[in-house]
Amino acid sequence: MKKNVFVFSRLAPEHQERLRRHFNVTLLDPAGDIAAQYAAALPEAHGMLGVGRPFGPAQLEAARQLEAIASISVGYDNYDLAYLDERGILLTNTPDVLTESTADLGFALLIGAARRVAELDAWVKAGHWQAPVGPAQFGSDVHGKTLGILGLGKIGAAIARRGRFGFGMEVIYHGNGRKAELEEELGARYRSLDELLGEADFVCVVVPLSERTRRLIGRRELALMKPSAILVNIARGPVVDEAALIEALQERRILAAGLDVYEKEPLQESPLFALPNAVTLPHIGSATHETRRAMAERAIDNLERALLGGTPRDIVNPQVWARRQP
């Protein structure tokens, strides 16, 4: 008998068909009654697949048959891991496949903020380009500057490579520990958080969200940055104190910010919208056709292995999987 899978995010037709080969599939209809659909699907679900919704006791209490959730994401801060562990529910994610796309986006924000791309695009379209540009339209160089990476994991390292080898930037970093191989490859130098903030021309935030990193960048940290420095956040919104960042941008205590993530999403109203020195994107780090397809395929592969036999490639809570083994 086929197991039941509840898909709570959009999924391409070919991926829906792949799931249906092995499972009874229920797709969430975003135009329908969301609560009613969850109430109907969860008690029967053996597996779930999707991204973007929080799951813990309140959401999963009725899902008594649930064995696995395959998240189409790298981050998993939406999931109550302690509760999943207690229930024996396996969680998988999709690392690696979005590394390069997200790094592309991070560097695009860096360049866009430095060269004022979005601001000057709007300026031209508003009809203000009536004479040769002057200092009022000048931006900042990227090449040869100091690139500070907070969190030199896979995505952070990919951004660092773009800066070091593409733009001749000096790379400094801060994280949980030293990365000897990356130091050798990139000539990267380890710094304390305060040292990095004081030295870097560009500060790229690429850390996972946790209680330790929540509001890692606040008023004190922003005050350590150069007035000419630019902050880029492609991690999670709550890693940066948004109100403090807005104040720093308004008062020009830092030069600019490039943001793809926010404390509350979707961002529909914010003082950021009135700031010409803030580039605001709608959380699109992995949003390319190629990457989203690869992420969905990786998540489906994980779910198939979890429910049909085999070991999933990307297990977030391996202790749950270990308990299942004979």
Burial class (CB in 10 A: 0-12, 13-18, 19+), 302: buried
Tell me: the pLDDT tens digits for 71-95?
999 989 999 999 999 999 999 999 9
Of the candidates 15, 46, 162, 283, the residue annotated as catalytic is 283
Q: For residue 154, what is the enclosing H or E element?
A: helix 154-161
For 6, phi then psi, to 5°, come to -105, 120
Q: For residue 204, what is the enclosing H or E element?
A: strand 202-205
Tell me: the pLDDT tens digits for 255-280?
999 999 999 999 999 999 999 999 99
6 beta partners: 26, 48
Of the candidates 17, 86, 265, 290, the residue annotated as catalytic is 265
Residue span(s) of the chain under CATH 3.40.50.720 come to: 3-96+289-324, 99-280
Between 267 and 325, where is the model more confident? 267
Q: Given this model, what pLDDT does residue 325 score?
A: 84
Q: Is 283 a catalytic residue?
A: yes
The model carries a pTM of 0.91
Q: Is 265 a catalytic residue?
A: yes
**CATH top-level class for 99-280?**
alpha beta
CATH of range 3-96+289-324; options 3.40.1170.60, 3.90.79.10, 3.20.20.100, 3.40.50.720: 3.40.50.720
Q: Is 115 a catalytic residue?
A: no
